[in-house]
């Protein structure tokens, strides 16, 4: 009888009790499961200054893993109502990740389809994330300025972005 009760309980647990994946700020990207009952929550008294180094071409949830990580962080902060004026994020895109900065036309010519990162790049940019591409990497990969997504800024190098931001108090995330 106990086994039957337990089985029925498990089968009919209300869905509202199940923790759902959410994307409260960057809609559709960087999903998280949030719980108020977990330790080390984001702190509303802090200013979040983060610089990302994106070098991988690996994907997660259909987009570049590094871009997904930025969206995930923003969604995490948004779950505790940290406003975007307290969040300053920059990212350098370089190495194997460089091609994610291509606009749809250039990406289509190279890979035969639209860039799956275009929308998340736009959403991150709209939020206020400063996205840079290493001009050394674009030169090496023979990427023309006209092929770069309009929400991406060329920087002298990925290293110059990382150095400048870290020296200005940004925490490095990789």
Q: What is the pLDDT of residue 18?
A: 55
pLDDT of residue 60: 97
Per-residue pLDDT of the chain (174 residues; tens, 9 = 90+): 544 443 434 444 444 445 799 999 999 999 999 998 999 999 999 999 999 999 999 999 999 999 999 999 999 999 999 999 999 999 999 999 999 999 999 999 999 999 999 999 999 999 999 999 999 999 999 999 999 999 999 999 999 999 999 999 999 998
Measured CA to CA in angstroms, residue 151 lies from 5, 50, 82, 126, 131 at distances of 56, 18, 24, 9, 7
Q: So what's the pLDDT on residue 19?
A: 75
Cα(141)–Cα(143) distance, integer angstroms: 6
Query: What pLDDT, on the 0 to 100 scale, is given for residue 174?
Result: 85
146 exposure class (CB count in 10 Å sphere: 0-12, 13-18, 19+): exposed
Nearest CA among 62, 74, 164 for reference residue 125: 74
Sheet strands (E) in the chain: 48-54, 59-60, 63-64, 87-93, 130-134, 153-155, 171-173
Tell the CATH superfamily of the 19-33+47-173 domain.
DsrEFH-like (3.40.1260.10)
């Amino acid at each position: 009888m106990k086994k039957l009760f337990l089985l029925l309980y498990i089968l009919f647990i209300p869905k509202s009790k199940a923790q759902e994946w959410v994307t409260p700020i960057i809609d559709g990207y960087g999903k998280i499961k949030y719980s108020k009952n977990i330790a080390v929550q984001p702190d509303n008294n802090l200013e979040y200054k983060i610089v990302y180094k994106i070098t991988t071409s690996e994907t997660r949830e259909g987009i570049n893993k590094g871009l997904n990580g930025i969206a995930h962080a923003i969604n995490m902060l948004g779950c505790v109502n940290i406003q975007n004026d307290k969040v300053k994020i920059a990212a350098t895109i370089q190495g194997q990740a460089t091609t994610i900065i291509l606009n749809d036309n250039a990406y289509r010519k190279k890979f035969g389809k639209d860039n799956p990162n275009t929308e998340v790049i736009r959403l991150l940019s709209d939020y206020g994330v400063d996205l840079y591409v290493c001009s050394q990497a674009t030169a090496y990969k023979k990427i023309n300025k006209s092929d770069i997504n309009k929400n991406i800024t060329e920087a002298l190098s990925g290293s110059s972005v990382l150095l400048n931001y870290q020296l200005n108090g940004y925490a490095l995330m990789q």
